[in-house]
Amino acid sequence: MNDFRPDRRQFLSLVGVSGGLSLAGCTEPRRDGGVEGGSAHSIDRDDLADGSTFTDVYDAVIESVTQVRVFGVDDPLTDQEGQGQGSGFVYDENHVVTNEHVVAGGEEVDLQYITGDWTSTRIVGTDRLSDLAVLEVEHIPEEATPLPLAQDRPVVGQQVLAVGNPFGLEGSMSQGVVSGVDRTIEAPGQDFSFPNVIQTDAAVNPGNSGGPLVDLDGNVIGVVHAGGGENIGFAISAALANRVVPALLEDGEFEHSYLGIQLASVDRFIAEENDLEEAAGIAVVGVVDGGPADGVLEEATSTTERGGEPVPVGGDVIVELDGEPIPDRHALSTFLALETSPGNELEVRLWRDGEIVVETLVLGTRPTE
């Protein structure tokens, strides 16, 4: 037997894959649909179809994708104790990354690998504001090597694969493209949003949450978060995970930057009612008492109605932070999430009373509740 075992990048290179191309319960899932007696990686490969580039990527990453089973959570249908499930992926030799909402409220969390191996875990850290969690695992199979987080920012049209366990169906894969980047997604039932979210048309269903959204080099470009409807899925970006996950490993938590304002992206109505030169920027609708912006930024003084919606009038309109243009709330949330930390001093360029004003503001730490 050959002792050489290529790592994931070497394997993808060998098979000619590059980024330029553009409730189950089966204990040993098989790609050939056969009966018990062996895993997908122990059957006669001569009996399989040729597959495609996507097959090659799937083979390279699937052993590093896990099914997550959470015990002790409340069943929303019966109000009785039940169990939840999702997906995760190997981050390093001892840890698996998944979503915070997958493990939230659970008393015990177990993982199953595609080989059928089970392992118990310990929750190392969670971050509700980015929907990320890190689990320390007792056992990782030799074949389950870490999946690297992508260093390059994704682009619209880039081909991607979502790998996970939708509806508990182990080892499933769906294919699509990046449909949008730098999205800001409202957290269901909460008063905050998830920043720097990737949108994809790859099929994402319950059970995919926490699994990897990978490019054709096998790099994780996002942690699958939720399906938003037909042909719309979302993933927490690798760029944000690259900031949050190391902090969860070291401290068990991550501190997010906080401005302390209520805001609205400037549209045509806001621009017209406030005599702005263009429909761009962030209107400061309100300022949180005692927050970082209190005494520094000025909130809207009144509202009027346009198109059946309230439009803020007066107050500041943020156009730049530290020289970075801020055309809308998505740009603001991405800048704060990826480029700043609590305690940073920012230069805020804004419109106030018909002229450009520059203020200095020190960012706070976003409350977790």
Give the 3-state secondary structure of 181-216: EEEEEECCCCCCEEEEEEEECCCCCCCCCCCEEECC
Q: Distance between CA 321 and CA 36 in Å, rounded? A: 59
Active-site option among 39, 209, 257, 265: 209
First to last CA, the chain: 56
Active-site option among 56, 110, 127, 131: 131
Please count the other Cβ atoms lying within 10 Å of the Cβ belonging to residue 301. Answer: 9
Is the sign of the CA dihedral 166, 9, 111, 49 positive or negative? positive
Which residue type sits at 346? L
Assess whether 131 carries a catalytic annotation: yes
DSSP assigned state of 319: E
Residue 202 to residues 114, 170, 175, 176, 226: CA-CA distances in angstroms? 21, 17, 5, 4, 11
Assess whether 341 carries a catalytic annotation: no
Written as six digits, the tokens of 197 are: 């979210």
Assess whether 237 carries a catalytic annotation: no
Active-site option among 39, 87, 101, 215: 101
Q: Distance between CA 82 and CA 287 in Å, rounded? A: 42
DSSP assigned state of 149: B
Would you please indicate which residues are annotated as catalytic (active-site) residues?
A: 101, 131, 209
